[in-house]
Each structure stands twice: as structure tokens, then as C-alpha cells.
Structure 1
Amino acid sequence: MLGAVDPLKDIEHYAQVMKAPRIRESAARLAEQARSDGWSHEDYLAAVLSREVTARESSGTQNRIRLAGFPTPKSLGKFNFDYQPSLSREMVAYPGTGVFSTQARNVVLLGPSGTGKTHLAIGLGIKAAQSGHRVAFAMAVDWVARLKAAHAGGKLPAELARLRQIGLILVDEVGYIPFEQDAANLFFQLVPSRYEHASLILTSNLPFGRWGDVFGDQAVDAAMIDRIVHHAEVLTLKGASYRLRNTGIDTLTSVRAGNAA
């Protein structure tokens, strides 16, 4: 209780009860500094609590990044803008703040394979996680498989509602594999369920004009794109594959880029 011979023991007890062990550590470490610098009680308490909040925020961010399912962590700071002249740091500045998730806006990254779409998508996802948003990453075919399983179990509306609670969903590689009609319809339902409620980041090797080839229905394709781009930043990446740089495989790169056009 207060007034004990060793108040730090009281603090340790209260910290354990509150499940805040860092308060105990900060209290002991800052006590001497508070005395020598003449801090008020309020200054000392604010300093101790500030360190607890900072540590919790850092821990929460790491958990959100871990649970997002990123294949590998990639930061915006490590993106090679010099290799991608079609994109500037200024063009990524707004999505890079993570604010777009708060505003339920979308980001679409279009371009040939190897131009950095997935790297940027993950980097933006990490920024969103650092801003406090729940994030989930998966390839387009994996999202469809998840929706198929929910639909088969009669739980699609519940699954869409659960996904809507995730502030940002990243859908990688839209267009690499065409969808069957049922799969396309399920994916279409994901988009309007999030419209103006939560954010999407999508990457695709195809321009919007070719998305009908993926979903097999021009009307569904047009309705989906309309909802996606209404509140969206659309970034188009160009050029050869970064992964194949310095390999001398220029012909293969050109063929792949031509097939994706």
C-alpha cells in the first residue's frame, strides 16, 4: 500500500496487476533522474506512462505486421525509385502516410512483372499497420479460395463482415490466373462489401481494360473497377523486371512485358 518503506515494490505490484511490467522498469530507472532534475510528481508520472504507451504501441505494431501475412517485410524506404522512373517518391507520399486507410481509400498498382508492385504494396501495408490499422495480405487466388470456403459453408455474409473489420486488405497478383465465373462473382462481392468502409490495395500485371479477361464478365468487371477507383490512388509502373537486372535476359523480359500488355 502507499507509504510503504520501498515504494518501488508497491509500483512493481501495481504494474503486475495492470499487466504493465514496463511501468516497473521505467519507474525505477527514472526515479533518480526525477530527483536530481527536480521533476514534479506530474512530470515523473507522465514520463513513466509515456514510456509504457510507446512500448505498447511498438509491440502492437509488430503484432499487426506479423499477423498481416506478408511473404517478406519490405519497406518503402528500400524501394529503388531510381530503377522505376515512372514513379516518384512524391507519388507515393500520400499513400505512404497510411492515412488512406483511415479514409477508406484504395491503392491500385499496375505494371509488368518485376517492376516493384508487391514491394510497394507491402511497404504501404506496413505503414498502415504502423498507423494502427489491421492489415491482411494474400494473393488474389488465395482470397478467392477463402471466399469459396465461406460460401460452401453458408457463411459468406459473415466472412465478408469479418473482413470488413480489417482496415486494409492487400490483394496481390490480380490477373495472373483467370477466374472461373463463380470465383469471379465471389471476388466481386468482396469489393462492394468494403466500398467506403475499408481499404484495398490491389496489384495487377494487366491494365484495367484487360480485367474483363480475368473475370469473364465485362459488366461485372466495369462495376467492380468503378467501385475500386472511385476513391483510389492508381499508380502505373513501367519498365523491365528489377529481379532480372544485370542478367542479360532482356529478350525474355520483353516477351513477358508484351504478353502482359
Structure 2
Amino acid sequence: MTTTTTSEKDAGSQIAYLARVLKTPTITRVFEDLAETARDQAWSHEEYLAAVLARQVAEREESGARIRIGGAHFPQLKTLEDFTMDHQPSLRRDILAHLATCTFIPKAENVVLLGPPGVGKTHLAIGLGLKAAHAGYPVLFDTATGWLARLQQAHATDGLDKELKKLRRYKLLIIDEIGYIPFDATAANLFFQLIAARYEQGSLLVTSNMPFGRWGEIFGDDIVAAAMIDRLVHHAEVLTLSGDSYRTRARRELLKTTTTNTMSTK
């Protein structure tokens, strides 16, 4: 271990003071240990400074990501890395990998995930939302019914325009489960205003169990549905998922395993 000189101790005290003034707690915590490593490994001044600042930035970014994830209101945390791609052989891995870079968000582009229930749409939506949060983008998640309740409340108090403007601070809005419950004309109009307000201004990630050809049934109006789809897909990546429900498959595999075990004990 290298002996610390008096001048180095004085410099350390000054760094600790300056770090407190700058409100950089990570630097306060790590600069001494990194200084010892720097002396042992003969780092240059630039290498030492870069190491200290990198630790501060990394922890600040991680703290920011935790705040953004908490504010996104995800129903649960599911990562893209945990998604079983083998269950979706038709899902192009290169497109998903590109979406995971979140480069579509600063361009205000959209993502649409279509497919029957239980094929992983919500998992992918949350996974992409987490990637966005870690990349520094504010995200907000809700189901279609949850978004409708939010819009209806704002509309009832003549605050819809204000609410739509407030939502602009979220770079990515996730609307999950469009199609499970049909909406009336008023609801369709509110959804249209949300999508129109985001058009070329902010990204949307939408999941639906219904193909676009049946969105007129969801919103009770083919014209409004077509207008929504037109704005939604103009700058969008549309991914169609297929296959059996994960839950149905898991239940079938469980029953198969149980039956096999039962037969083997006889």
C-alpha cells in the first residue's frame, strides 16, 4: 500500500469539501479508494479524474433510472432479456434489438404490438419501457381503460388540453390492451385526441389483441379508427405476434408433467 503524503491528505480534504459543495456524494465516497488505486497502478491525472467522474455519473444515471421507473407505473418489471424468443420465432430479433436502443423515441416514432392474448405483448412493452427509462426518457404506462379514465376525468373538468400538454413531458406513453373492451363514441374521440396530440411530438407504444381491420369495432366508428391508425402507423414499427398463450402453454406443460409423474408412480 502506498503511503499518503501530507500534501495528498490536504488535497483529499479539499476534494471532500468541494464534493460536498457540488453535491456529488459518490465522489465523496469513492475518491480516496480510487486515489489509492491510481497511485498503485500509476494512473495519470486524467485517468484518475475520468474514473472518479465516471462513478459519479453512473450512480446518478442509475438513480435517475430508478426514479423514472417508479414514475412509469409499470404493473410489474419484465425485461427484454427475460423474454423467451423461442416462443415467437416469427418475431424479428434484429427489429427488437433496434427498438431496444430507443432511437425511435427522440424521433417521436411509435411501436405497435399486435397479437392474441398471452403471446407476450405486455412483456415486450414493459421491457422496451424499461430500456427507455434507463436511456433517460420519462415513460408512463397504463392500460387502455386506465388511459380512458384519465382522459375522461380531464375532459369532465375542462382540462383535457392541459392534460395533453402535461403528458408531453413523457417521451414515451405506453397504451396496453386496446381491444379487450369496446369504447363508445366519446371514448373514441378522447383516444383520437391523445393520439393526435402525440403525432410527431412524442412516441407511443401500443399493444392490441385486435388487427387494425377490426379497430372500428373497438371504437364504434370506422372513420375515427382509421384516423387514429393513420397517425399511429405513419412513423411506426408494427410487430405482429402469434402462437399460443404463454399461460395456456404453461398450464398444458404443467398438466403433462403432472400426468407423467402420476403414471410413473403407479
Say which of 74, 98, 121 aligns to 1:70: 74
2:102 equivalent in structure 1: 98
1:12 paired residue number:
16
Seen in structure 2, the aligned counterparts of structure 1 residues 5 and 204 have a Cα distance that, compared at 3 Å, is: closer
Q: 1:12–1:21: 8 Å Cα contact kept in structure 2?
A: no
1:170 to 165, 170, 174: 174
Query: Residue 179 of structure 2 aligns to which amino acid in structure 1?
Result: G
Q: Does 1:129 align with 2:128?
A: no
Structure 1: distance between partners of 2:236 and 2:52: 41
Deviates more, 1:196-205 or 1:14-23: 14-23
Match of 1:48 in 2: 52
Offset, 1:145: 0.7
Residue identity opposite 2:226 in structure 1: A
Are residues 1:182 and 2:186 paired? yes
Counterpart residue type for residue 61 of structure 2: E
The structure with the largest alpha-carbon Rg is 2
Q: CA deviation at 1:164?
A: 1.5
5+ residue gaps, structure 2, are: 1-6, 254-266
Q: What fraction of aligned residue pairs are identical, expressed as a percent? A: 55
- Return the letter of the residue paired with 1:183: A
Q: Distance in 2 between matches of 1:237 and 1:42?
A: 50
Matches within 5 A, 1:91-240: 91-240=95-244
By how many angstroms is 1:19 displaced?
1.7
Q: Where does residue 91 of structure 2 map in the other structure? A: 87
Q: Is the 8 A contact 1:8 1:24 kept in 2?
A: no
Taking the aligned partners of 1:132 and 1:27, their CA distance within structure 2 comes to: 26
CA deviations on 1:18-72 (whole Å, 9 max, x unpaired) are: 2211101221111112223333333322221111011111111122112111111
Q: 1:5 to 1:73 in 2, by over 3 A?
A: closer
| Corresponding position of 2:258 | none
Change in CA separation of 1:5 and 1:172 when aligned onto 2, cut-off 3 Å? closer
Q: Please, which moves more after superposition, 185-194 or 85-94? A: 85-94
- Offset at residue 10 of structure 1 (A): 2.5
Root-mean-square deviation over aligned CA pairs: 1.6
* Equivalent residues, number: 247
TM-score (norm 2): 0.88
* CA–CA distance in structure 1, aligned partners of residues 35 and 169 of structure 2: 42
1:242 to 240, 246, 249: 246
Native 8 Å contact 1:105 1:200 kept in 2: yes
